[in-house]
Structure 1
């Protein structure tokens, strides 16, 4: 029989335990652990959630990997065409975890209305385009259909709609500069059939999604000439590996660039979230551990006579230390229980209501995104429990300093 656990349970169940001098200190320790786990859960869930949401939005506008001609510059505009007669199109047969390969082309233009004008990037796509990203962020209208004849239907952002007063179903003019600046620009008339809002203002204020055949016609490209290819992968964590594999499967005249290489500043910024998460976890566990050390020392000092009696009966210092560590473990688990309950409640409320908002100009999202994964929650709880118990091993050595003769005569 594990008599150390038996004694620990008796101590926990005793009425004196709940009304003793140590009771307020124990409650403070439990509250500290609960608050610590709540803050750690929120830090991890929102940090990872923000990283994933920003990655998702950048990939939604650019794909995970872009394949273009080496002659193109590194702006958002495709200058040189690429033939669609490639071995990897419409799919990479020798690379797994590739969701889609889709053609695209971009061209700079100016939307002109009766009272205003705005520079935009017209992104041309075809019927192989994966609309899953824009489906999530549609606020009005429908997605354009480019499977039939050349279409003038376009998808615009709510940002452009508000700034230029272009409503659903409105037609508007777009000017495109020709290769020869001395010639009059092209004038194209498009119809807004859908409005999206991703909250990523850098993209929302620029991109208009249209039929790629409009750009092919203006650039005098053949039907098999496009600006490039976008590759969508299943797992973003594999983007570096997949970039190399894609590069190896493309012709020597083509260049591949993933979104991390294309937008290094943004990815360096969101990479700093990991450091913040690690720092918060370290501080919270340290605070919880210190509170538990205080509670343990008070528990030991409060039961000095019991320690003396156990020693007189032949109990070893290790066994007595186990009694108090079991006791401390119970307190830690109580704190973890309430912390998980409160933390998950807060995260679920935010996840399904989006009650806490953010400035999209700074964070690229309109509300705090939440990532909930049972795996990291279990690891966080196990890690907190083990680290707190490890921190309690050294202060529990005070038990070996208690003299049974003096402690029994204490009262």
Structure 2
């Protein structure tokens, strides 16, 4: 029989009752440690619930923003090396054979071409500068489709011009545009001004201001002709990887395969990851990790403090029992184990309530979106949450272990209790 575990269960069961029979007493009286146990349980529960919610919010926020950024720029971009040092857009030739080479690189899930042309959308009342992104039939439209708020995505082609355009809700609102409206676009280059008339096929909204303010989508053949590029030329290729965590390893494979090689027009290939394209965004997201560590630290301190206070009160209340056990020959380490097991039961109950509260609030938010955010400030309209059950399990285990370890020190108070004096303790 595990004697410390047996005693701790009895003590834990007694403290769950309304009244307890104290050693050496002939009458029932209320346990003075019961409020301390409740406070310790609440402290652990609140601490764990806050940690679960904090981790879920940060994971959801980081991954939501990351997916929006990569939705516009993919994971890796292969383009002309001159674009690194030039403000103008320099084309590179990516034909079907080159696209197949990129798709076959280890770690690459999908490769797609794109071409960007800078222009101006103009209505009778206003005008606005845009970046017109041409995409072809191989382009992955999942991201755009998920963010369509009005209209339907057209069938983009790399062989025929449809003059359909997809604009953001921000652009549509500024220019007063609706679905099926026709709008003139002007493109200025060394050869003069080129004019095109587009039909609004769909309107999207991602709440990413830096993209919604300017990005529009149309056929890749339209933007290629507007730029005056040769057959097969485009702005570059976007690569989607199988695993974002292995992005750098995949990029190294891309570098070995295509970087510093030449296309048929003697343009040099180069590649950049999404981290290099938008360093400010990802640096800002990485700062969120610091906030999480601060929250985790504060909540662990809260749980440890409340548990320490509760354990000291319980030890003082059980002084007579400790003295009796010592008189019967029990060693300090055995008695300390009794109270550490007892503290473990309290922590375990707190963890159960903490999981119920934390996960309950998360599922409530995911189901109802009850807590809203300003999309202009946070890029999302409601708090994004992502559940990672392995991290939640790790939080539970870490909270339990750290709380028990913290209690080892206060448990040494038991060694100062003398049997003769404690038997007369009231």
Q: Distance in 2 between matches of 1:240 and 1:354?
A: 35
2:99 partner SS: coil
Which residue is equivalent to 1:212?
220
The CA distance in 1 between the partners of 2:30 and 2:181, in whole Å, is 73
From 165, 173, 180, the equivalent of 1:154 is 165
Once the two structures are superposed, the pairs formed by residues 139-178 of structure 1 within 5 Å of their partners are 139-147=149-157, 149-178=160-189
Question: What CA distance in whole angstroms lies between the structure 2 residues aligned with 1:43 and 1:88?
Answer: 44
Aligned to 1:225: 233
Inter-CA distance 154–93: structure 2 relative to 1 (3 Å threshold)? closer
Q: Residues 79-228 of structure 1 correspond to what in structure 2 (within 5 A)?
A: 79-85=89-95, 88-92=98-102, 95-147=105-157, 149-180=160-191, 183=192, 185-228=193-236
Q: Is the 8 A contact 2:117 2:226 kept in 1?
A: no
The Cα shift of 1:256 comes to 0.7
CA distance in 1, matches of 2:36, 2:116: 65
Note the C-alpha offset of 1:78: 6.3
> Is 1:10 equivalent to 2:10 in the alignment?
yes
Who is 2:281 aligned against? Answer: 266
Runs of 4+ off more than 4 Å: none
User: Which consecutive unaligned segments of at least 5 residues does structure 1 have?
Assistant: none
Contact 1:32-1:291 at 8 Å conserved across structures = yes
- 1:362-384 CA-partner distances (Å, limit 9, x unpaired): 32222211110110000000000
Compute the TM-score of the two structures, normalised by the length of structure 1.
Answer: 0.95
Please give the secondary structure, in 2, of the residue aligned with 1:99: strand
After superposing the two structures, state which structure 1 stretch, 298-307 or 128-137, moved more.
Answer: 128-137
Offset of 1:86 from its aligned partner?
Answer: 7.2
Aligned to 2:306: 291
Question: Given that residues 88 and 250 in structure 1 are in contact (C-alpha distance below 8 angstroms), is that contact kept between their aligned partners in structure 2?
Answer: no
Q: Structure 1 residue 346 and structure 2 residue 358: aligned?
A: no
Deviation at 1:125, TM superposition (A): 0.6
Contact 2:113/2:238 (<8 A) preserved: yes
Residue 346 of structure 2: aligned partner = 331
Instruction: Tell me which moved more, 342-351 or 280-289.
Output: 342-351
Q: What is the CA–CA distance in structure 1 between the aligned matches of 2:165 and 2:85, rounded to whole Å?
A: 25
**Contact 1:97–1:234 (CA<8 Å) still a contact in 2?**
yes
Cα 1:88–1:3 change in 2 (3 A) is: farther
1: CA distance between counterparts of 2:275 and 2:103? 24
RMSD across aligned positions (CA):
1.8
Between the aligned partners of 1:379 and 1:72, the Cα distance in structure 2 is 45
Unaligned runs of 5+ in 2: 21-28, 261-267
